[in-house]
Amino acid sequence: MLYSNNTILRKTSGVRKFNCPECQGSLIFPNGQYSEIVCERCGLVITGFQDNQCFTEWTPEWYSNWDKRDSGTLREWLTALRTVSCQLHLPEFPYREEAARVIRKKSSNIFRSQMLGKNKKEAVTALVFLILRQYGEARSLKEICATLSLDTSLVMKHSWVLRKMTKLGISYSPSDHLRYNAWKLTPNIELIKKAENLLEKLGKKVSGNPVSLAAGAFYHICKSKGLKLSKDDFFGCWSFLSHM
């Protein structure tokens, strides 16, 4: 539900504080092309509210921004994303921006789905959940749905559809694990690059646990360059990338 700029917001005792016209909850002021604001409590989006001291000039530089060239459907999805992100207190980067990037990249598939289009908030919530898992944020779907007052089973169904559609949650390669873990041991970029080259040369000749392969290649390179590390210290630093 959107409120236009004709909506009168209550300003309290000279302090720049506004309340939601629906539930009197606190309002969040994310920058937007149309100066929309979002209620933290109920998620109401209010458009066209101008306040020069609260907003900066909008320029469509990030994925979650839109301009006149974007379709109305895309704007609806990005507005739903902004609402969900605000209610979950998610920062713009990386979570909201990554979700917006996926929406744009897979828009032709996502927008064709009647199920996703019928329940945009549930679909966006499912996408945000997948993005959080991708980045290792330990927030359960049950907790997220409780915060947003959504049906957990419905959001879960949407997450299954989106996982297949977007390929989120796919396994990481040994090279991905190498880049994720090697910096914990040394800032030496050359060593990391050499280990990555070794993994590329091995290619399909070896298989197994991707973390073990990455750790083994990096250990071999470190030893060949005379870097002194005990096996316990070395291998104790390695871990799976978060969503696996």
Q: Which of 185, 169, 170 is nearest to 217 (CA)?
A: 185
* 156 and 184 co-located in one domain: no
| Inter-residue contact 40 to 86 (CB < 8 Å) | yes
The CATH number linked to 11 is 1.10.472.10
| Confidence band of 134 (pLDDT split at 50, 70, 90) | confident
* 79 and 150 co-located in one domain: yes
Verify cis geometry, omega within 30 degrees of 0, for the bond prior to 210: no
* 141 and 226 co-located in one domain: no
Per-residue model confidence as pLDDT tens digits over 74-128? 999 999 999 999 999 998 888 899 899 999 999 999 999 999 999 999 999 999 9
Asked which of 149, 166, 183 is the last residue of a domain, the reply is 166
* 85 and 138 co-located in one domain: yes
| Confidence band of 17 (pLDDT split at 50, 70, 90) | low
DSSP letter for 26, please: B
Residue 243, domain member (yes or no): no
* 179 and 101 co-located in one domain: no
pLDDT (0 to 100) of residue 180: 76
Q: What is the pTM of this model?
A: 0.51
* 32 and 74 co-located in one domain: yes
* 95 and 33 co-located in one domain: yes
DSSP string of 125-167, one letter each residue: HHHHHHHHHHTT----HHHHHHHHT--HHHHHHHHHHHHHHH-
* 100 and 212 co-located in one domain: no
Q: What is the mean pLDDT of the chain?
A: 77
Average pLDDT over residues 219-227: 83
* 134 and 217 co-located in one domain: no
Residue 241, domain member (yes or no): no
